[in-house]
Amino acid sequence: MADFFAAAPQLVGLFTPAASYQTGAFRDGDPASSEGLFAAKFWGQYWATLAALPALREGAAVVLMSGAASARPIGAPAYAACNAALEGLARGLAIELAPLRVNCLSPGTTDSDLWRNRAEDIRNSAYTAWAGMTVQGRPATVQEQAHAAIFLLDNTHMTGSTLYCDGGYTLR
């Protein structure tokens, strides 16, 4: 990863949105899903941010990605804990790396390839459940999440904050 950033021009921002992981119930005690989740989602963003530091120019921004389960878990406690840890990481890095700005985007269910690649019945069931749990009554679009990330990258006075782009999920 360091080689990638060493070859990059000076960056004005870093957004770390993607991770591949599984979630599971606490009672299942499955290390592969619980530890694998942290390895992919938390440590992946942690190490990517560290590797990018030399390539980030003064005044740059970093946007980490957690998930609304940090504030309102509905199961899969390791997933909720991982998302909360990422939000804490953003706050800690905002202090340590200042004047770099570090924020966290916390999306809710989003109509993205993650869901489109799942079976239609599973996707539709999840979307219906999500609609009933949010103020907006629907999943977000990828474009809405991208706009939220760009806001955090562009706003030069935001740092150490978590933006919940979840359609009001955390309000219910």
Q: List residues with catalytic annotation.
A: 79
AA identity, residue 53: L
Helices (H), 12-167: 31-37, 43-52, 77-96, 113-116, 120-133, 142-154
Token readout for 171 is 């309000």
The whole-angstrom separation of Cα 122 and Cα 166 is: 20
What is the dihedral sign for C-alpha 14, 22, 113, 115?
negative
Token readout for 114 is 């993650």
Question: Tokens 């992946």 label which residue?
Answer: 44
